[in-house]
Structure 1
Amino acid sequence: MLPLLLLSLLWGGSLQEERGYWLQVQESVTVQACLGVHVPCSFSYPWSSWYSYGEPFIYWFREGDDIHRSDPVATDNPGRRVKPETQGRFHLLGDPRKKSCSLNIRHARMSDTGVYFFRVEGGDVEYSYTDKKLNLQVTAPTEKPDIHFLEALESGRPTKLTCRLSLVCDGGRVFSFSWAGDALGAMDPETLHSSVLTFTPRPQDHGTNLTCRVNLPGDQVTMERTIRLNVSYAPWNLSINLSFRNVTALKTLQNSSSLLISESQALQLLCVADSNPPAQLSWFGASPALNATRISSTKILELPGFGAAEREFTCRAQNPLGSQNTSLSLSVVWKPASLTGVVCGALAGAGAMALLSLCVCLVSFCIVKARRKQAARRPAGADGEDPVMGIVAWGSRQKPWPDGPPDQTSSPAEDAPPSGEQQELHYASLSFHGMKSREPLDQEATNITEYSEIKTS
């Protein structure tokens, strides 16, 4: 029993063909969305039925649909309606009397992807050819939209851009457009959903990406084109890179900077400008507005060293859209007072002054200390003599001292100056004649102070 069952399964297709039912169709077909495809197909039906009942009706159904309750995707039966989503797009071609079941598909949609089977109905015969089915695959379009410029992009000038797609889908669907890119960050999002875009480029937009996207409603298919913006703009962001003795760019200077250098210092000035198209760079000995002489037509200016002076150098960047200048003022320090020598000399001078002040303080301290020791050894009773410096201090007396002892009977009032009378100041000059240093004879001799003539005035 089992061998007979296996034999019937293996010969099932052949038995169908022997009975007069067979179908030839391409089992796998791929088409891009919005495009069309033609699927050749031929079939056979028993001749006896054809002759007895006339020409049958043919149908294409989607796999899984009920052949009695569901609408076919295509049929030649005028009494049956087709699915609304395939109406006008799926068409039967050829004459069934010539065994043709070919199917033509236009404006394919992503939703058309699926498996389909063929069916014949006529008289007392109804047959579905399920042994061979059509597998339809609809893919996203490979075509991309194009972005057209009405004019070249220039910084500060409004420009219109148009996104176009040559692909045509069925008239029931309308493409939706959208724009994206860093250059559009400040724009109103409502203006970014149109096939035409108007925006004003900036210098910083040069080299950024701009994308146009086209969506197919209902199919979740997106086609896009991305371009790199080429924005023309005048020179800006001008700067000078400075290097010492071929050392790479130790300092970047901008906006009329100044620098203090040595007269023997070798410099290299590199002018850098941001512009599109690239700017022509030139160097001048002063501001170009003053009709200064051009000293270089390259971006690098070599300064091997120059004499004592204050020099100004100006770099000018210029292209067809405009120009920009930046200057560098060099204050030159000449020899021998180079910048290093000035600092070292100032430090050395300050150190010498500090040492000299210390020496003076030490000498003064030694003198004062010696005087105080000498005054301590001298007998007391010397009025008017400074115990430290050994000099006579003169008071404001009107009369000189008498030779004899003072009168005990005199009152202090007699010595006092009259009321309202200003006291006189007496000065003395000291002169030491022929003073020679000598060695003391003994310990007592060291306490003897020598005096010389004192003149008063």
Structure 2
Amino acid sequence: MWLKDSHAVVYHPDSSKILKDYRGRTKLVGDLWQKNCSLRITHLHLSDKGPFIFRIEIDDDNKFSYVHAAVSIAVNSSPHSPYLSVREEVKVGEVVFASCSVFYSCPSEPPLLTWGPSRTPSNQSQQLVNGQWEVTSSLTFTSIINDNSKSLVCTAEYSGGEKVSSSKTLNVKYAPVDVKVEGVSDVMEGASVELRCSSDGNPAAHSFHWHNSQGPLPSRSSTIKLERVTRLTEALYCTAINTEGQGHSSLLKFHVEYQPEIRVGSACTADFSIINCLCIVDWEPPGMVEWSAPGRTLPSTKVERHGSVTMVTLQRPLEFSDVVCCNAGNTHGNATLSCSMPTNYKVLMQYVSTAVGAFVLIFILIPVTTCLFIKKW
């Protein structure tokens, strides 16, 4: 049997002799034939501190209480938190070793150790002195970027349902990633634009480089200002640098808008019977192009677009107008080109006019001459 304070029975083969507060909470778990009389007490109370004394009675004659071998228990109101060991600062891609251990006093019901976020550990238990045991859970994993600033949590759950946890926050070092150029890429020609280089890295980027196809640009900060952007301004990218390395953004191309410009090469030519006009317009965004002669609009024959350049063709029979105009307009402005008829066209028109006049004159004179001749005859 087991006694408390030398008189209160906390365990006896006859349960009716057990102190009411201990009935159903005590059990002899040792093997008597192996001289093991270990006692198990469940659902501990703060008052279960003892001292507890082992007593043996044989045939009413042989009785003995092991008063000098009494056992006392230090009962805590809640379990101790697990001891968590891990190197908190690591580089991305490094193997991380973590261990979590906790003490317990009942070898048949060790606490359950679990890890969060969900990971698969290996567990082992060992017996210590003074009736204590220790269970240890070990964990091995390769660090990734998403582990940074995440808590590694070890939780011990006891048979009575109590749970206690310990955690440590991982600090994973990595070179800049997700590097990008932020800012407005749609800009009116001649305007200024300010861009910012952003990145995700641990530690944060401490310097930046800016580049275009010609090479590095003068700025070394996270921002750059471009003055008077034109349609020829090249795409650029940035590089973010920290102690772990560097990362590059993708190219940022500018969408530059401007009013129409009619390019050199726009003109009119003529052959014997047809006038051919070409108008080449450079603009962004594209708008509307039309041909006109004095007092009327002429429909275009063909329209072709090649990027920001639009080519508009006019083909018409010969007429008496000396000027044909190409008119182009978009949301930012207008442009007009007046095409005078070529010299050969004017000479041709004069020949045509002379020939028509001569034909009319002959047409009139022939009947008159014939009448005079007949009259004279």
**Normalising to structure 1: TM-score of the pair?**
0.43
Which of 162, 166, 170 matches 1:229? 170
Matched, 1:152 2:77: no
Residue 228 and residue 150 in structure 1: after superposition, are their counterparts in 2 closer, same or farther (change >3 A)?
closer
Higher Cα Rg, which structure: 1
For the Cα contact (< 8 Å) 1:270–1:300, is it kept in 2? yes
- String of CA shifts for 1:329-385, please: whole Å, max 9, x gaps: 4475677649x98258851x2374992249x9xx99xxxxxxxxxxxxxxxxxxxxx
Equivalent residues of 1:311, 1:331 under 8 A apart:
no
Instruction: Identify the residue that residue 332 of structure 2 maps to in structure 1.
Output: none
**Runs of at least 5 residues in structure 1 that lack an aligned partner in the other structure:** 1-38, 42-56, 76-81, 88-105, 116-137, 244-258, 365-429, 437-448
Check whether the contact 1:238–1:273 (CA below 8 A) recurs between aligned residues: yes
State how far apart, in whole Å, the 1-side matches of 2:257 and 2:99 are.
62
Deviation at 1:230, TM superposition (A): 1.9
Conservation of the 8 A alpha-carbon contact between 1:262 and 1:334: yes
8 Å CA contact 1:146–1:225 kept in 2: the answer is: yes
Structure 2 vs 1, CA of residues 141 and 86 (structure 1 numbering), >3 Å: closer, same or farther? farther
Matched to 1:228, the amino acid is: T
Counterpart for residue 190 of structure 2? 264
**1:230-263 deviation digits (Å, cap 9, x = unpaired):** 22111111111113xxxxxxxxxxxxxxx66443
Residues in 1 aligned to 2:365 and 2:113: alpha-carbon distance in whole angstroms: 120
Measured in 2, the distance between the counterparts of 1:318 and 1:199 equals 27
Distance 1:114 1:86 in 2: 22
**Counterpart contact for 2:188–2:258, Cα < 8 Å:** yes
Cross-structure match for 2:290: 350
Mapping for residues 163-174 of structure 1, pairs under 5 Å: 163-165=100-102, 167-170=103-106, 173-174=109-110
1:168: how far off? 4.6
- Cα gap change, 1:220/1:334 in structure 2, threshold over 3 Å: closer, same or farther? closer
Going by fraction, where is strand more abundant, 1 or 2?
2
> Which residue is 1:280 aligned to?
206
Q: Does 1:180 align with 2:107?
A: no
The answer to whether the 8 Å contact 2:258/2:283 transfers is: no
Match of 2:16, as an amino acid? R
2:196–2:224: 8 Å Cα contact kept in structure 1?
yes
Corresponding residue for residue 14 of structure 1: none
Q: Alpha carbons of 1:303 and 1:68: their partners in 2 closer, same or farther (altered >3 Å)?
A: closer
Contact 2:258 2:284 (8 Å CA) reproduced: no
Tell me the SS of whatever aligns to 1:271: strand
Q: Distance in 2 between matches of 1:59 and 1:345?
A: 102
Distance 1:262 1:337 in 2: 15
The answer to whether the 8 Å contact 1:283/1:313 transfers is: no
| Cα displacement (A) at 1:229 | 2.6
Change (3 A) 1:209 1:452: farther
Q: 1:345 to 1:450 in 2, by over 3 A?
A: farther
Shift of 1:306: 3.9
Partner of residue 388, structure 1: none
Q: What is the aligned partner in structure 1 of residue 7 from structure 2?
A: 58
Task: State the alpha-carbon separation in 1 of the partners of residues 227 and 123 from structure 2.
Answer: 57
The reply to whether residue 69 of structure 1 matches residue 2 of structure 2 is no
Distance in 2, Cα, partners of 1:301 & 1:170: 67
Q: Does 1:311 align with 2:234?
A: yes
Matched, 1:84 2:27: yes
Task: Give 1:190 shift.
Answer: 6.2
Check whether the contact 2:96–2:141 (CA below 8 A) recurs between aligned residues: yes
Say which of 65, 69, 80 aligns to 1:143: 80
Residues 324 and 242 of structure 1: is their aligned pair in 2 closer, same or farther, counting only changes over 3 Å?
same
Structure 1 runs of 4+ off > 6 angstroms?
Answer: 65-68, 333-336
Give the RMSD, CA atoms, in angstroms.
Answer: 5.0
Q: Percent identity?
A: 16
| Other-structure match for 2:343 | none
Q: Normalization by structure 2: what TM-score? A: 0.50
- Offset of residue 212 of structure 1: 0.5
2:43 corresponds to 1:110? yes
Q: 1:328: which partner in 2?
A: 252
The offset of 1:324, in angstroms, is 0.9
1:12 maps to: none
- Which residue does 1:299 correspond to in 2? 222
Q: Deviations over 1:208-235 (max 9, x none)?
A: 232101122x322221123333221111
Aligned: 1:205 with 2:128: no
**CA 1:343–1:355: 2 relative to 1, 3 Å:** farther
Q: 1:61 to 1:432 in 2, by over 3 A?
A: closer
Distance 1:337 1:174, change over 3 A: same
For structure 2, list consecutive stretches of 5 or more residues without a partner in the other structure. Answer: 31-38, 49-74, 125-135, 263-280, 301-313, 319-354, 368-377
Query: Paired residues, what number?
Result: 247
SS of residue matched to 2:200: strand
Deviation, 1:164, is: 2.9
Residue 344 and residue 215 in structure 1: after superposition, are their counterparts in 2 closer, same or farther (change >3 A)? closer
Distance 1:140 1:223, change over 3 A: farther
Letter of the aligned partner of 1:59 in structure 2? A
Change (3 A) 1:225 1:344: closer
Query: 1:368-407 to 2 correspondence within 5 Å?
Result: none
Structure 2 counterpart SS, 1:232: strand
CA distance in 2, matches of 1:303, 1:265: 9
